[in-house]
Amino acid sequence: MTKKSELPNAFFMQISGLIDARLFLKIESINPSGSIKHKTALSLIDAAELSGRLQPGGMVIESTSGNLGISLAALCAKRGYGFTSVVDPNVSAQSVAMIRAFGGKVIPVTARDAQGGYLGTRIQLIKQMQQADPTLYWTNQYANPANPAAHAGLTAVEIATAHPDADWVVVGAGTTGTLMGFLDYFDGNRHPAKVLAVDSTGSITFGGRSGPRFIPGLGTSRIPEIFQPQKLGDTVMVPEQDAVRMCRWLATTHGYLAGGSTGSILAGVQARAELFAEGSKVIALSPDGGEKYLDTIYNDSWVKEVFGTLPDLGHTATQPVRALETTANGAK
């Protein structure tokens, strides 16, 4: 089991000017491999070792075009395993470079699946590789219960400890591991906070129509096995253009460079502002930092090419931005 001593203390940043409620970002880029996926990777590898399915010197493979690939590559390097990440064209050059820096291998796919995404293609390739080499261990973040367990046992507890008076928690849906972990913990018994789930337009997880997506993190073209829709409460779908707008607004008003999922989550907070009563406390996740997105979200040429225009940052804030506060555990 992952020990809390293996992870840094939780850190929260107060965000002003977006909604009337008190809004805090839980910063996950402070984790050793730079994102919330470090916790997922620890849980996946710990569970594999405990079950005996991953033996010393073994080979690990996962379908990931983002942070989990980096985290697994780092952890496998530390524990003596080989690692291969199957990626799609949306992967950033920085993510590929980081995986390789940790000694991992990267295999790209280019063919879209039946839903118009790449996830089905990536998983099909992994299954083919496992047939050719049965010793290859697939962590399978989409079906592995160790994924949500990481966030029910670590991330959610960090929020509850630092903010026992939280009224809302806002989280994105990718593999839905973090979301399911939060819904297990914030269940009205262990903690009364309500959960707002955010997904990207073009994702089918919440029942929407499949469409092209260009920012790694949220969304899926295939329903993950760990997803339990009956547990959902409030949800919101966010166009990727709004994620870009929010990332850039956050950078230019608060001096924090956030990743694409953070932009989507904050855009979801703004879109559902009516949920949050004035004076209530809202904790939103920031899964990673923005360094891996400098060539995409923060690059004018890329944004114009993909979305046709640059975002209007003047339409983001609902009130003047007040002085930024950054707080550690126990922020009020």
8 and 97 belong to one structural domain: no
Per the structure, how many domains does the chain have?
2
State residue 115's pLDDT score.
77
131 and 188 belong to one structural domain: no
250 and 114 belong to one structural domain: no
State residue 116's pLDDT score.
81
* pTM, 2 dp: 0.88
Considering only CA atoms, which of 311, 182, 296, 308 is closest in space to residue 245?
311
State residue 144's pLDDT score.
97
Q: What are phi and psi of 304, to 5 degrees?
A: -65, -40
186 and 224 belong to one structural domain: yes
The CATH number of the domain where 132 resides is what? 3.40.50.1100
169 and 318 belong to one structural domain: yes
- Last residue of a domain, which of 138, 173, 189? 138
User: Tens-digit pLDDT profile for the chain (332 aa)?
Assistant: 444 445 556 799 999 999 999 999 999 999 999 999 999 999 999 999 999 999 999 999 999 878 999 999 999 999 999 999 999 888 888 899 999 999 999 999 999 888 787 888 999 999 999 999 999 999 999 999 999 999 999 999 999 999 999 999 999 999 999 999 999 999 999 999 999 999 999 999 999 898 888 898 899 888 999 999 999 999 999 999 999 999 999 999 999 999 999 999 999 999 999 999 999 999 999 999 999 999 999 999 999 999 999 998 876 655 433 322 333 344 43
Residues 6 or more apart whose Cβ sits within 8 Å of residue 175 = 141, 142, 147, 220, 224, 226
- Last residue of a domain, which of 138, 166, 185? 138
**Domain assignment present for 143:** no
**Domain assignment present for 47:** yes
Domain residue limits at 166: 4-32+148-328
d(CA 222, CA 210): 9
190 and 211 belong to one structural domain: yes
- Last residue of a domain, which of 138, 168, 195? 138
State residue 92's pLDDT score.
85
Q: In sequence order, which ranges of the chain are alpha helices (DSSP H)?
A: 37-51, 67-79, 93-101, 119-132, 146-150, 156-162, 177-185, 240-254, 260-271, 300-307
296 and 321 belong to one structural domain: yes
78 and 9 belong to one structural domain: no
* Exposed / middle / buried, residue 65 (Cβ in 10 Å: 0-12, 13-18, 19+): buried
89 and 62 belong to one structural domain: yes
State residue 315's pLDDT score.
64
β-pair partners for 108: 87
156 and 282 belong to one structural domain: yes
**Domain assignment present for 82:** yes
**Domain assignment present for 102:** yes
Label the pairing between strands 168-172 and 82-87.
unpaired
153 and 293 belong to one structural domain: yes
State residue 320's pLDDT score.
34
59 and 120 belong to one structural domain: yes
